[in-house]
């Protein structure tokens, strides 16, 4: 506050360096939200000639709408590939979804765990496709010892509820690609020339997708605690797994071998899900469904011409998934209470 520098500046550039280094990448470009990170990553890729209007981009139907919004807002075509048992992009379905028009893939690291990134990258390399990882939910997650994003470009969200959240909206693009980072920096700030003294010289048409300094300052402090919080979330998930694994009717979330899941949310699959959610609500336990309607069945995406049955795994999951309370400070007693209530529900 005393510095009087409320947008950009030292706090933002320091956070960018610290977060890039935390992710093991060369550059982080802090932006106003995860949605703007995805939009800017695509705009910067177009500006660098890696994509053009009308190109097809494959993503998954069980994601937050922002992933597909970014594709559509760049005049690219949305193509969906169904998911696997981990709630993540199925590489088999990805192969089938790729057409001659496909030029990029946006896998989504849902719930706190990376998609099968090496296999996705292999498929992309075979066909010369760009990969932009939607890493909105996975700050601090690992895949085979690599911090997310595994792809050359990753987009994070710092929405307050995220494992690394700020005091409002925030996001970042993380990449090793210097040209892309440079374009994204310009585009987030009205396409301003990066020439010193070029404040009112605009070499590109851009947007205002900048991050506020206060939000960056909060992120710098919280980043120091991220690994501890992840450790606590993983310990809490392990207790849930232990207490729930014997309950028929409940399937605990699977962690792929080699993955470090950060349990942004802890999502089970439950028989008679809606009745269970009501039962838990009556016992004072809040639950959530991420996401109740897959994108291909949402009103906004009807123009794509999909129908029920097109992505059966995502659709089945949407009917069964339920996210239970998880955060670093939740106590063992609270987790036991939730699990006892679930047991009670299925014993009725």
Ligand X SMILES: Cc1ncc(COP(=O)(O)O)c(C=O)c1O
Shortest distance, position 28 Cβ to ligand X, whole Å: 15
Shortest distance, position 34 Cβ to ligand X, whole Å: 2
Residue number with CB closer to ligand X (169 or 339): 169
Binding residues for ligand X restricted to 130-149, rule: CB under 6 A = 134, 136-137
Q: Is 267 in the site for ligand X (CB under 6 A)?
A: no
Residue number with CB closer to ligand X (136 or 322): 136
Q: Is 108 in the site for ligand X (CB under 6 A)?
A: yes
Interface mask toward ligand X for 157-176; x: CB under 6 A = x-x---------x-x-----
DSSP 217: H
Q: Is 35 in the site for ligand X (CB under 6 A)?
A: yes
Label residue 145 left, alpha or beta by phi (over 0 means left) and psi (-120 to 50 means alpha). left
Q: CB 304: neighbour CB atoms within 10 A? A: 17
What value, to the nearest 5°, has the Cα angle with vertex 123 and ends 102 and 295?
Answer: 55
**Residue 130 near residue 158 (C-beta atoms within 8 A):** no
Residue number with CB closer to ligand X (215 or 339): 215
Distances (CA, A) of 320 to 133, 249, 270, 342: 26, 10, 5, 14
- The size of the interface with ligand X (CB under 6 A), counted in residues, is 15
Residue number with CB closer to ligand X (38 or 280): 38
Q: Is 33 in the site for ligand X (CB under 6 A)?
A: yes
Q: Is 62 in the site for ligand X (CB under 6 A)?
A: no
Q: Is 114 in the site for ligand X (CB under 6 A)?
A: no
Q: By C-alpha distance, which of 43, 108, 116, 117 is closest to 264?
A: 108
Q: Which residues of 236-258 are buried (b: 16+ CB within 10 A; e: fewer)?
A: bbeebeebbeebebbbbbebbee
- Beta pairing partners, 31: 171
Binding residues for ligand X restricted to 282-321, rule: CB under 6 A = none
Site residues for ligand X per CB under 6 A: 33-35, 63-64, 66-67, 108, 134, 136-137, 157, 159, 169, 171
């Amino acid at each position: 506050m005393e510095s009087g520098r409320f947008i950009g500046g030292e706090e933002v550039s320091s956070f960018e360096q610290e977060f890039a280094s935390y992710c093991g990448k060369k550059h982080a470009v802090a932006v106003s939200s995860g949605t703007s990170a995805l939009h800017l990553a695509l705009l910067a890729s177009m500006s660098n000639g890696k994509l053009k209007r009308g190109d097809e981009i494959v993503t998954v139907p069980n994601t937050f709408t922002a992933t597909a919004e970014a594709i559509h807002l760049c005049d690219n075509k949305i193509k969906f590939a169904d998911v696997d048992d981990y709630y993540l992009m199925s590489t088999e379905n990805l192969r089938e979804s790729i057409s001659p028009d496909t030029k990029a893939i946006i896998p989504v690291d849902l719930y706190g765990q990376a998609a099968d990134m090496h296999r996705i990258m292999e498929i992309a390399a075979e066909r010369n496709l760009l990969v932009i990882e939607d890493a909105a939910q996975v700050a601090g997650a690992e895949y085979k010892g690599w911090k997310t994003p595994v792809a050359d470009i990753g987009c994070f969200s710092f929405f307050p509820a995220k494992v690394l959240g700020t005091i409002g909206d925030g996001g970042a693009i993380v990449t090793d690609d210097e040209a892309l980072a440079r374009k994204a920096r310009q585009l987030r700030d009205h396409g301003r020339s990066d020439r010193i003294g070029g404040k009112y010289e605009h070499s590109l048409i851009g947007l205002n997708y900048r991050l506020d300094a206060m939000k960056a300052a909060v992120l710098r402090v919280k980043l120091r605690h991220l690994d501890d919080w992840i450790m606590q979330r993983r310990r809490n998930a392990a207790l849930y797994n232990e207490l729930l694994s014997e309950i028929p009717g409940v399937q605990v979330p699977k962690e792929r071998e080699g993955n470090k899941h950060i349990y942004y949310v802890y999502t089970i699959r439950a028989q008679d899900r809606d009745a269970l959610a009501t039962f838990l609500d009556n016992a004072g336990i809040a639950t959530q469904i991420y996401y109740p309607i897959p994108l291909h069945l949402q009103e906004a995406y009807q123009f794509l011409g999909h129908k029920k049955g097109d992505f059966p795994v995502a659709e089945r999951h949407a009917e069964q998934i339920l996210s239970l309370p998880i955060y670093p400070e939740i106590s063992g007693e609270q987790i036991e209470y939730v699990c006892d209530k679930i047991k009670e529900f299925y014993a009725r």
